[in-house]
Amino acid sequence: MGNENHKYLLLFSNCIPVKGISRSIIVDIQQNEIFFIDNHLYEIINECREKSWQEILDEYDDSSQEVINHYLEFLQTNELCMWTENPSYFPPLDLSYDSPSIVTNAIIDVKAFSDHPWVQIFEEFASLGCRDLQIRYYDALPMEDLELLLSRLQGSFIKSIELMFPFQPAYNKKYLQQLTEKNVRIKNIILHSAPSDEIYSYDPGRGMGNIVFIKKQIDSNQHCGIINKDYFITDDPRTFGEFKYFNSCLNRKIGIDENGNIKNCPTLPVVYGNIRKDKIKDSITDQFKQVWTVNKDQIDICKVCEFRYVCSDCRAFTNQDSPVGKPSKCGYDPYQMEWN
């Protein structure tokens, strides 16, 4: 390794280090994996663009150099790094985020009494550039209403849709599979209040057509906001950039609650209009957009968490009801590095 010592050691551009208060991580976007490292290695990685490996080693005594070389072995074994004589030839990944869409995603809540003007909503979403939609039904959804809703989405601007509604025996696996095959925009169908917890994926290559049965009864939007490591997104540089610079839940989101009120999220209290009398575009004021930029580097506790750029957020349920409070449904302690 003698000759290599005079070269620069760089992480591959798809491997992004993030420092936390107690430890750091390397997010390998290509391998869709998280590697844990200590903060000392994070600092060394940051020096590597300015110093050759030999220059870094020269800063330590013999016993410390042994530790440093163990770090190197870890990075090489996990195929996270490369040698180069010209680090400027390999700039870091550009994580800047922007979108031509005014709104990129939406959540609509529905109860038995809701009377949403679906055609109007979908037309407005198209004009705003909204591509991803979640619709949450808390009361029984008749099969004919479901099929009518999906027929209205045919030919729409929506790219992917997630549907959540209560289980009923007619919604068996065979019927739901046929539904996803007929409606290729369906990403997830989640049936709550089911007899058992089960997951089926009928188009795993595209990540679409997933059918999820869960026993838990979800009867209101008070069940949302749960932060869980199973929800981490580690395979998309665009999403990583958005989560780094913007709010990972509310950026460019529209929420419509069961009463038709237009909000940042159906669970949040502030109302900016009602879909039955107001245009969504007119509701997107400067005040409406304020929460879009509340990123994890501003949020209490989250700002010292190593997972902050791969994790979702919630501003509806926060500690002390603070606009920058930690999500109250997050059980991770970055100081102790433990999930409760």
Same domain? For 35 and 184 the reply is no
Contacts 24+ apart (CB under 8 A), 213-216: 213/167, 214/190, 216/192
What is the per-residue pLDDT for 113?
Answer: 97
Which structure tokens are listed for 334? 């970055």
In this structure, the dihedral spanned by the alpha carbons of residues 144, 149, 152 and 156, taken in order and rounded to 10 degrees, is -150
Domain membership flag for residue 100: no
* Average pLDDT, consecutive stretches of 10 residues, N- to C-terminus, the chain (340 residues): 80 98 98 97 96 94 93 97 96 95 98 96 97 97 96 92 97 95 95 96 87 95 92 95 98 98 97 98 98 98 98 94 93 96
Same domain? For 242 and 324 the reply is yes
Domain membership flag for residue 99: no
Last residue of a domain, which of 57, 89, 121?
Answer: 89
Q: How many C-beta atoms surround the C-beta of residue 282 within 10 A? A: 10
Same domain? For 158 and 211 the reply is yes
Same domain? For 190 and 306 the reply is yes
Domain membership flag for residue 340: no
Domain membership flag for residue 36: yes
Same domain? For 134 and 173 the reply is yes
Last residue of a domain, which of 61, 89, 117?
Answer: 89
Which structure tokens are listed for 6? 């005079």
Chain-centre distance of CA 148, in angstroms?
30
Which structure tokens are listed for 143? 């099969």
Which residue from 12, 43, 26, 20 is spatially nearest to 234, judged by alpha carbons?
Answer: 26
What is the per-residue pLDDT for 7?
Answer: 95
Domain membership flag for residue 10: yes
Domain membership flag for residue 177: yes
Same domain? For 133 and 19 the reply is no
Give how far Cα 54 sits from Cα of 6, 47, 50, 57, 87, Å: 5, 12, 12, 5, 15
**Which value, in Å, is the radius of gyration of the alpha carbons in the chain?**
23
Same domain? For 285 and 158 the reply is yes
For β-strands 160-166 and 186-192, DSSP reports them as: parallel
Same domain? For 57 and 168 the reply is no
Same domain? For 310 and 211 the reply is yes
What is the per-residue pLDDT for 2?
Answer: 53
Give how far Cα 247 sits from Cα of 31, 149, 152, 291, Å: 25, 30, 30, 7
First CA to last CA across the chain, in angstroms?
44
Same domain? For 140 and 84 the reply is no
Domain membership flag for residue 220: yes
What is the per-residue pLDDT for 207?
Answer: 86
Helix (H) / strand (E) containing 120:
helix 118-128
Q: Give me the half-sphere count of Cα atoms (radius 13 Å) on the Cβ side of residue 231.
A: 13
SS3 151: helix
- How many structural domains comprise the chain? 2
The residues near 93 (Cβ < 8 Å, ≥ 6 apart) are 13, 14, 16, 29, 237
Contacts 24+ apart (CB under 8 A), 49-57: 49/8, 49/10, 49/87, 51/8, 52/5, 52/6, 52/7, 52/8, 53/4, 53/5, 53/6, 53/7, 53/8, 53/9, 54/5, 54/6, 57/5
Domain membership flag for residue 68: yes
Domain range for 225: 105-333
- Which CATH number belongs to the domain containing residue 50 in this structure? 3.90.930
